[in-house]
Amino acid sequence: MDDYRAVRDLLPAPPLSPEVERAGRERLNAAFSRERARRGRRVARWSALGIGVAGAAAAAAIAIAHTAPPSVPAPHSAVTRADTRADGKRFLLVAAASMAAVPDEGAWWGSTQVNGRQFHEPGGRYVLRQSTSIETWIPADPEGRTWYRQTSQGIKPATPQDEAAWVAAGSPMSWRYDKPSDIGHSGVVRSEPGEQRTWSTEDWDFRILMAGKPLTKMSEMPDTPEGLKAFFDADDRTTIDTAARMLFFAPVTSETRAAAYRLLASVPGVTAVGQVTDALGRAGHAIEYTSGEFAPPNHAEATRTRLVIDPVSGRPLSIETRSAADGLLLTYTAIQDSRWTDSNPLRENE
């Protein structure tokens, strides 16, 4: 029997109806509630691992990675009893099963993401959030042009509590920083959004680099955890970095993306967080590990990275960098939508 079928049977293949999503979430929530009750208030530990978030959708040069063989999922009877692993990463196997069934044929890989960062206003009274939406269309044809649309969403208070403090401070629309601080430079920052930009490029640097060469055919990527292990051939830290980049940004097949989930479930040092809400307010489950590679400029304190996943649909939701001291969200990349399709609206509107 296919060992992964037990996990696949938990949830039907996407697209999922609201009723099915609700039922799936209820089963997952019940499983994680029982697990937390068994474990008590165990403190999560983060190992020294790193991840890189691409600046513009799939503009990622993926490094070579290596990991130990993935663990094998339990039989169907154990899965239906919600026999979650002690480390709580079993939701990644559910996400892999859902993702493996998503169609992945088309002429374009389209992705819409929101890149953001948070920082205190100069007086430290509230937190501000600056965000930018980036829509990217990568052609399956290696000779085609990649298209982008970037929309600045401006700066605003990060939470309702911050908004109340902002109102109490007179609702300012600009802030002056005399020192670089967490914004990376001195000077005035303003709240209003910037202009929308649309452009295209034929630069293959915005594709993926593996083994020192551009991966012009995404089907060349292995579609099993063991295959990814052999292809990456590096240490655990680079394995996590590479798998996360590929999972969130690369126009690979659904089977390859599912294999990346299974690989992350097997890598030592990755800690399950449980149910969380991501930077855009969406519910999901998360894993975390320490990382300082993408901390904001001039941020000298320790940070950790969080990957938020929707296990029911299999969608990756966001990569977040948080302060290790107090959990404050510092930077994030949230994937609003990603899919294979035969049309590119940016080129059509040229």
- Given a contact cutoff of 8 angstroms between Cβ atoms, the answer to whether 12 and 98 are in contact is no
pLDDT band with cut points at 50, 70 and 90 for residue 237: confident
Whether the per-residue pLDDT at 335 is higher than 50: the answer is yes
Please state, in angstroms and rounded to a whole number, the distance separating the CA atoms of residues 229 and 70. 9
What is the Cα 115 distance to its own chain's centre? Answer: 11
Contacts (Cβ under 8 Å, ≥6 apart) of 194: 152, 154
**Residue 67 identity:** T
Question: What pLDDT sits at residue 129?
Answer: 95
The CA-to-CA distance between both ends of the chain, in Å, stands at 51
Question: What pLDDT sits at residue 244?
Answer: 86
What is the Cα 160 distance to its own chain's centre? Answer: 24
Whether the per-residue pLDDT at 286 is higher than 60: the answer is yes
pLDDT tens-digit readout, 67-125? 233 333 333 222 322 333 335 899 999 999 999 999 888 999 999 999 999 999 999 99
Average pLDDT (31-57) is 33
- Given a contact cutoff of 8 angstroms between Cβ atoms, the answer to whether 165 and 125 are in contact is yes
What is the Cα 274 distance to its own chain's centre? Answer: 15
Q: Whole-prediction pTM value?
A: 0.71
Per DSSP, the residues of 176-227 read: EESS-GGGTS-EEEE-S----EEEEE--GGGS-EETTEE---GGGS--SHHH
3-state SS, residue 118: strand
Mean pLDDT of the chain: 74
Please state, in angstroms and rounded to a whole number, the distance separating the CA atoms of residues 262 and 89. 10
Query: In the structure encoding, which two tokens stand for residue 132, read together?
Result: 């930018």
Please state, in angstroms and rounded to a whole number, the distance separating the CA atoms of residues 334 and 140. 23
Question: What pLDDT sits at residue 229?
Answer: 84
Query: In the structure encoding, which two tokens stand for residue 161, read together?
Result: 């509590």
Query: Which residue ranges make up each domain of the chain?
Result: 5-348
SS (H, E, C) 61-75: CCCCCCCCCCCCCCC
